[in-house]
Structure 1
């Protein structure tokens, strides 16, 4: 087990799949955040079908804490409904955690705005009041390397959230995004600036967890909209199947694959889509780019590392992960 805090989100699968994904990490995680908590339309707690006491027991036997994440799946109306019902919702979360041997909650409400900033902070404050230590209350916050104060980025009052949360997980990914120009998902300097912003806002380094992506994005030449998500593991498989070249961008410290699928090739399914013939540019993460980002944890003496999401990585990562994170 690492001395440094290391967690990952679990979002795609069921209990048996989740246990398999955790075991592939070779003891490198000390917390997992499964997708057990969602929201009903009125903003109250909804427990997903994935929630399973068998999984919780298996993780505890491995010395791994289980901290479900509460998601609104980017639905602003749902996020605002939750904040409007925050007193009730905080109580529901606390009660369910206590009754089901869970180890806390990770709040992942996204795409509310600066208008919701105070309510968001107050929700986290109420959770901390209702959930006794040492159980965890943590918040996933948007990376904000540009210091934006409006819109989605403005909903997170880093300094105030850090007063109540055990840590803030900086979602240091989606520098490039669906519909945008091609580029790295988490370029090194962009990630470092996101850390600088949190520190500048007064968040202690021991309350910062750096979130890294286990996925990339692809752009097809000539196609109007690109930046579709693809797991790192699937990128490696496609390069093996179709060939192509991988260039490591020294500035972004990120790999970029160029791959051509010919007309007669076997179809390439990716997350419910099929890649049609053509040339693709794929920015993703490999062991070299992840190792570079893990060095930032050491450089800034951060609490630890989080990742979105388990099962999307190339399993070879875990062979050296313990050494890199330390």
Structure 2
């Protein structure tokens, strides 16, 4: 598929004619509000008949013929995909594009917060082919360590199993709608409460038809770092062949006393669990200054640190299906889907910029005289992130969350990857 950046004065008919793609196909593939709605800088994803492009980092001993053979490609095709590349002067560490009919395997997980059952099932039906796992975000636990269901989810679990997407019971340390450091600390510190939590999670997992568990404990007190490992070890032992997936905050170094990341011993967790997802989102966080959701330099630093601690075949990074609309000079933040962020730029008639360092789109607008800056993701930033997964040979990715429309992401995933299917 091709990416076209809309120029000032262009219309969809002109773009449709240039690429030989029906306007309604472009509208649907990019989630546009209508065939008349464009803005300069908008990135459009367009279907073509070319093979997937793989990002590849040159290693010692590489040459064009060797790389072509590895990817079932041809040297001439590689050179065509990399204008200016000198095949006799490949540099170690250089990243090139390799066209190949082969699709890379990717293990994916979509988070779903149950809401409207009909809408949730429709979403699941539409993207089931792009998911290995579905984490149903519906569980917490008491101060004595007993897991419980916060929202009815039986229809979602049944549909997920029917579609052969492995459902995972996602449990969080929530009190009301907020993560509770006190709850996590109290239960993890106490061996009896820890045992209660393990037993009740396993019982609910089996009773409700899940294929495993996804843990999302946030703001764990750093003093409970080892207790968290003990909990995960006991939980994995009790789950047996069922999946244990754990989400951890992103970091570029280990700071054991930090209140946000200190409790996450990447190496210890990675040794115990089946998959570990680093939450590579919210570099630009709610209430903070306008910043990218996940700038590429930061993301790559997180990956590089993570790989010093975690087997790459267990490691997932997170992709955001949302953006943030921030009022400059305040802590006011509004979250919106990437599709809504794109279409808001169209609605207000503001051009979309693309930050060359962060590799991320953004724009500004002034409703009521107040300056807003919106950072989000689009096909360009998603491609950059998928490229890093390939370069570092990661297990895959997670998506927060799948009820947020992101048609470009799903189209790219469908075209370029073989999503792993797993039976439990």
Per the normalisation by structure 1, the TM-score is: 0.89
Query: Within 1, Cα distance between the matches of 2:212 and 2:356?
Result: 39
In the alignment, structure 1 residue 104 sits paired with structure 2 residue 209: no
What do the CA deviations read for 1:125-184 (whole angstroms, capped 9, x no partner)? 111011121x10111011102443322211111111111100110000111112222211
The answer to whether 1:46 aligns with 2:148 is yes
Aligned to 1:268: none
Partner of 1:78: 183
Count of equivalent residues: 308
1:7 aligns with 2:125: no
Residue 42 of structure 1 and its aligned partner are, at CA, apart by 3.5
Aligned to 1:312: 404
CA distance in 1 between counterparts of 2:250 and 2:207 reads 33
SS at match of 2:404: coil
**2:252 alignment counterpart:** 145
SS of the aligned residue for 1:200 comes to coil
Out of 134, 137, 143, the residue aligned to residue 35 of structure 1 is 137
Rg (Cα) greater in structure? 2
Match of 2:125 among 23, 44, 55: 23
CA distance in 2, matches of 1:72, 1:157: 18
Give 1:11 deviation, angstroms: 1.7
State the SS of the aligned residue for 2:131: coil
SS at match of 1:32: strand
Q: Deviation digits for residues 8-65 of structure 1, max 9, x if unmatched?
A: 111252332221222232611121101121122443211122321x222211121100
Q: 1:198 aligns with which of 303, 306, 316?
A: 306
For the structure 1 residues 26 and 233, does the alpha-carbon distance in structure 2 shift closer, same or farther, using more than 3 Å as the test?
A: same
1:302 counterpart SS class: coil
- 2:167 aligned to 50, 66, 73, which one? 66
Which residue of structure 2 aligns with residue 244 of structure 1?
A: 350
- Structure 1 residues not aligned, in runs of 5+: 264-276
Counterpart position of 1:55 = 156
Per the alignment, residue 377 of structure 2 pairs with 285
Whole-angstrom CA distance in 1 between matches of 2:160 and 2:186: 32
Q: Could you tell me how far 1:116 is from its partner in structure 2?
A: 1.0
Give SS of 2:205's match. helix
Question: d(CA) in 1 for partners of 2:267 and 2:184?
Answer: 21
SS of 2:226's equivalent in the other structure is helix
- SS where residue 35 of structure 1 aligns? strand
Give 1:2 shift: 8.4
Aligned-pair CA distance for 1:227:
4.2
Note closer, same or farther for the CA distance 1:49–1:240 as it changes in structure 2 (3 Å cut).
same
Identify if the C-alpha distance between structure 1 residues 18 and 119 changes in structure 2 by more than 3 Å, giving closer, same or farther: same
SS at structure 2 position matched to 1:37: strand
Greater alpha carbon shift after TM alignment, 108-117 vs 32-41: 32-41
How does 1:130-279 map onto structure 2 within 5 Å? 130-133=238-241, 135-150=242-257, 151-201=259-309, 203-221=310-328, 223-261=329-367, 263=368, 278-279=370-371
Instruction: Quote the Cα distance in structure 1 between the aligned partners of 2:180 and 2:417.
Output: 34
> Runs in 1 of length 4+ with deviation above 3 angstroms?
323-326
Report the RMSD for the aligned CA atoms in angstroms. 1.9
